[in-house]
Structure 1
Amino acid sequence: MRDKHLSSSKKIVSMSFEQLPDEILLIICSYLSPFHIIKTFNDLNYRLNCTISQYRQNIDLRFLNIRQFYFFCKMIRFNFGNNVRSIILSNAAPAVRQLILFRKQIEPFTHILPNLERLTLIDHYDDELDLYLPLISILKNLKELKINFIKNKNETILSSFITQMLTDNFIYFDHIPKRRRRDTLTLEKLSLTGTGYLKLTPIYNETITHLTIEIENTDDLVIIFTGFDYLQYLNVNLKQLTVLSSNLCNFLCNQRKVQCLSLIDFRFQARWHPELLSFNQFISILHIIPNLQNFSCTLKSETNQKEFDNSDYINIEKWRNLCIKFHNLINLDCSIKCILNSSNGSETDFVQIIANISRTSDRSINIHIYYNNENINHMKNY
């Protein structure tokens, strides 16, 4: 009798709860974790389930303990795997090695998650590469992949494997015009961080529009410029900004005008030696991306601040001419970091160049140079 009474009471509470307006339900949900929302509300009426559908579509498994993690895996496997559009997994505590556990629980992966569009893997170990990367070419709806690797890893092995994956697994790589088509590939956004600096081989791709990657030098940068036909956004961490190798220079000279016409937003950071890469050589690299609208860079040098006094990199007219040459450029932000004190080797933001170009017909250019050494408030405005 007591069990029947409890069951009846729960049913009455559930029915009363189901009558609440959506606005009240959403306020309640804002105070709960996704785990508690799914666990508590999953078996209630259709209207309420529609209200909380976003918590089934966008799954974030970070910060779950092992019991909560297995509960979510069970729900995905048997209840709403078809609804899942986005998943975030992390190897960080408390669910250590979550990436391996998830693959073991969700199998067959493509059958349980056929509509997955976004996959984020955090603190990825280098011994887990074969768990997820092979799925990229067979998940028919995957649009975005983000992988962040842990700091303690074998960078040599990881860099080699990632480079091979880029060329063999899902990105076209044959030399133009011998292009291979992979009609099933849908990936548009790719972010690989913590890989170590990659040395790329020639690649070709027609789907990726957003790319975040770590690469060795300028040659690898040009390979990206010339290999990704529809790239719009590029965020790069370069080990070294260098002069182009003679082989790549010859390749560019022997081809018709090689340009990445689709790229409009380019951001990068790199170490570089201004005495080895002139400002004109720096500009010649950018000429490959003539339709640039937003450009941001951070240049780090071991050169002492005083040695920059006569450098073209802090010449206002050089930057003004750059803005004039790039007809679509709207925003430019360049920070130069150098050694403030040779005795302790500390870095400083020596100079920051910020330019805003109006969209009007006169294309007026407003450039500021900020000197950030002894007096952080000192500014020269042109």
Structure 2
Amino acid sequence: MNSKSITKLEDLPDELLLLICRYLNIIEILNGFSCLNARLSKTISEFSIKIDLNIIPLKLINRFLNEILPNISYNVRSLIYSDNFERFPIKLDMFNNLESIHFLNKFSEDFLINTKEIKIDSVPVDIQIDLIKNFFSSSQYKNLKSLELLSYHGFTFSNIQLNKLIQIENLKITLKNNVDLFELLYLLSYSIEQLNIHILYNGPFKSLTKFSSPLKLTKLRYFHLKTTFEDSIQFKQLEKLIIDSFDFIQYLSIETLTRDQNYIDGLQWENFLKKLNYLKNFSFSIRYRFKINENDDQQIRENYLLNSFSTDFWLYQRKWFILFYSTYSNINQNDSTCFIKRKNYEKLFLHTIPYPYAFMDATIDINKTKSTIDQYSTRDIYSNVRHLYYDGESIPIKLECLKNLLDKFHLINELKLDRLIIDYSSLLSNKINLRHLNKLTIYNTDEKISINMNLFNLSSMYNLRYIRIPQICLSDNLQMPKQLETLILTECRDINFDFIYKCKNLRILKLFLNNFDRLLENNGELIINIINTIYNNNNNIMETLQLMCHGVNQTKMKIFEKQFNLNNIKYLNAIYDGKSLTIQRSNLYFDQSS
């Protein structure tokens, strides 16, 4: 049988090349295969549709600016801006087919352009009103169809004169309170088709008297509402708003924290949802907080909840199933169920199956769920979750139980573990391996009961590029993932960081150092030693060392910053902002080393 021998990479079929790309990140793919020939450029074209400038290392910026981005510019549809605009001076006019722009942690109005989609994940509070006026009352962004505005403070529409908007069809926004909800609904009533709202605080929930006409959103098909302030909207208020104003709603989604028992009553939901004639899909996640009384029978409460969601409407007509668990702990003793009260108030977590959202909070009690369906695979229940925050509530959990729990969330990109105490009395048969994990964070670990990071198979987590852990979690034999780019160490008491040389691809190191004032003694000799250790380990990729120094003597810090910059050490610059001392390599270093 004659077969052509493969002598070079280009001889491989497209299928194998794409299989190789599965083991690389987008930057590695574009850097390795772009600008070689037309065939390879076409093969990897799918990886150039969405470009995140934040993940491009400084040493590759010039190559991307001058070669790669101009070469793929025709194919770029979505662009995520760099958080450091000065270090990545992108020219937008090269992207003729750009449809979406996205700002993550930093925002600059200089980079706003008239595209179909604009996303801003962290809007500064001082420009919120100006942005609202620009997007909602001017013709500057006439091509805009989809808008995402997120803010830690929430947007307000009170006392702002705005025109009714006719072009925006899809909006995701963080609002300050309920009053802003009604202002926004009237503003969008002519055009909006998809609406995703997160309300941060409480406020009066009633339609505005300044509008004479009834509130009707005739084009609205998808509505998601999330509230984080307890009892922000009562069940009956929500029901009335949706029935009166959303006549043609097809997809309804609710996330809320409440003490209103109607939210966990399947019969109340059934009566409500039957009135929505066009409804195709319904999903929710309810965190219900209730007070424990001595005469309460938790078993009766849970049985009623299950029965109310087990009617013909839920199980057969709609095939909508629910799952719940309670922080009111239960243990089996002599074949009877005993409920253990941990505090005066407990929570009940209730959601539709599968869990519908990317972000999820869970407690140790998630191991004892109850559901209206038995056949559902546990791995499928949480297949939509990408960001998991797990609160162990300082209750010991066995290693195998923790592994079984995390295995349910096998597709997550980000994991945050808080108040986690592990019972090491039994060994783990296999290490925890979350293959899709990109970010791992461990909070406030007790010094006496530290977490052994070797329970994770870090070296096999090929996507893990960000780790934040207390320094005490590090062990001498810990094998960090080779592709690790960001490492944050909290509660640092040991100032020996020689292990950094093992992290060959580390770009950002952030240290929370204890007793920082002591490190400033003798003209900051100990800080200089730390800096030299970090940058003298033949790591030509390291970009930034950030030393957190809350409460330190600011005068001494400013003196150190000035003296360090006068010495002009190894292309390093010091920047003190009152909270941290950042040691950053200049672009000149990467220019001369490339």
Q: Name the TM-score, length of structure 1 as normaliser.
A: 0.57
Structure 1 counterpart of 2:98, from 99, 116, 134: 116
Aligned position for 1:40:
32
Write out aligned runs for 1:83-122 (5 A).
83-89=75-81, 97-98=83-84, 100-101=85-86, 105-107=89-91, 109=92, 111-122=93-104
Q: What's the CA shift for 1:139? A: 0.4
Determine the C-alpha separation between the residues in 2 that align with 1:373 and 1:16. 55
Is residue 265–residue 293 contact of structure 1 (8 Å, CA) maintained in 2?
yes
SS in 1 for 2:71: helix
- Whether 2:312 is the aligned partner of 1:330: answer no
Work out whether residues 219 and 245 of structure 1, in 8 Å CA contact, stay in contact via their aligned partners in 2: no
* Structure 2 counterpart of 1:297, from 267, 282, 285: 285
1:298 aligns to what SS in structure 2? strand
1:261 to 244, 248, 260: 248
Q: 1:207 to 1:299 in 2, by over 3 A?
A: same
Q: Which residue of 1 aligns with 2:259?
A: 273
- 1:8-47 paired onto structure 2 within 5 Å: 17-47=9-39
Deviations 1:304-350 (A, max 9, x none): 376585779944554456x739997332436475666776467554x
Q: Unaligned 5+ residue runs, structure 1? A: 1-14, 91-96, 357-371
Q: Aligned partners of 1:83, 1:164: CA distance in 2, in Å? A: 32
Identity among equivalent pairs (%) = 16
Give the structure with the higher percent helix. Answer: 1
Is 2:234 aligned against 1:243?
Answer: yes
After superposition, the Cα gap between the structure-2 partners of 1:29 and 1:242, relative to the gap in structure 1 and judged at 3 Å, is: closer
Distance 1:330 1:299 in 2: 22
Output the amino acid matched with 2:18.
L
Of 111, 115, 139, 2:115 maps to 139
CA contact (8 A) 1:265 1:294 kept: yes
With over 3 angstroms needed to count, the CA separation of the structure-2 counterparts of 1:86 and 1:343, relative to structure 1, is same
Matched, 1:209 2:194: yes
TM-score of the superposed pair, with normalisation by structure 2: 0.40
Q: Take 2:103 and 2:172, find their aligned partners in 1: how far apart are those partners?
A: 10
- CA deviation vs aligned residue, 1:145-203 (integer Å, no higher than 9, x gap): 55544xxx97x768877876775476899xxxx95433xx5x64x5557x876843233
Task: Give the Å deviation of 1:301.
Answer: 1.2
**Cα pair 1:207 1:230 within 8 Å, conserved:** yes
Q: Secondary structure at the match of 2:288?
A: strand
Deviation at 1:19, TM superposition (A): 4.2
- Aligned residue for 2:438? none
1:228 and 1:278 mapped to 2: Cα distance? 29
Q: Which residue identity is paired with 1:106? A: I
**Is the CA contact 1:296–1:334 (under 8 Å) kept in the aligned structure 2?**
no
Paired position in structure 2 for 1:58: 50
Residues 329 and 41 (structure 1 numbering): CA distance in 2 closer, same or farther, change over 3 Å?
Answer: same
Over the residues paired in the alignment, what is the CA RMSD in angstroms? 5.3
Question: Partners in 2 of 1:52 and 1:210 — Cα distance?
Answer: 34
Partner of 2:248: helix, strand, or coil? coil
220, 226, 242: which one pairs with 1:230?
220
Report deviation, 1:119: 4.2
Deviation digits for residues 213-266 of structure 1 (CA, Å, limit 9, x no counterpart): 34546977999x9548233362624423423899x97xx69xx94324233241
In the TM superposition, what is the alpha-carbon distance from 1:56 to its structure 2 partner? 2.0
Equivalent-residue separation in structure 2 for 1:282 and 1:217 (angstroms): 23
Higher relative contact order (CA 8 A, sep 6+): 1
Q: Matched residues in 2 for 1:129 and 1:196: separation?
A: 22
Aligned-partner residue type, residue 56 of structure 1: S
What is the SS of the residue equivalent to 1:67? helix
Is the contact between residue 301 and residue 338 of structure 1 (CA under 8 Å) also seen in structure 2?
A: no
Note if 1:78 corresponds to 2:70: yes
- The aligned length equals 312
**Residues 330/210 of structure 1: CA separation in 2 closer, same or farther (3 Å cut):** farther
Amino acid at match of 1:116: L
Q: Distance in 2 between matches of 1:87 and 1:59?
A: 5
Residues 51, 80 of structure 2: 8 Å contact kept: yes
| 1:51 CA drift (Å) | 0.7
CA separation in 1, counterparts of 2:341 and 2:248? 42
Give the SS at the match of 1:295. Answer: strand
Change in Cα spacing, 1:64 to 1:298, as seen in structure 2 (3 Å) is same
Aligned-pair CA distance for 1:68: 2.5
Query: Matched residues in 2 for 1:101 and 1:235: separation?
Result: 37
- 1:120 Cα deviation after fit: 4.4
Looking at structure 1, the residues matched to 366 and 56 of structure 2 have their Cα atoms a distance apart, in angstroms, of 47
Q: Note closer, same or farther for the CA distance 1:342–1:80 as it changes in structure 2 (3 Å cut).
A: same
Q: Could you say if the C-alpha distance between residues 159 and 292 of structure 1 is closer, same or farther in structure 2, counting changes exceeding 3 Å?
A: farther
1:331 aligned counterpart, secondary structure: coil
Distance in 1 (CA, whole Å) between partners of 2:367 and 2:10 is: 62
Bigger radius of gyration: 2
* Partner-residue secondary structure (3-state), 2:188: coil
- Measured in 1, the distance between the counterparts of 2:27 and 2:367 equals 51
Matched residue SS, 1:105: coil
What is the Cα deviation at residue 285 of structure 1? 6.5
Does the Cα contact within 8 Å between 1:302 and 1:338 map onto a contact in 2?
A: no
Distance (whole Å) between structure 2 residues aligned to residue 374 and residue 23 of structure 1 = 41
Alpha-carbon deviation of 1:59? 1.8
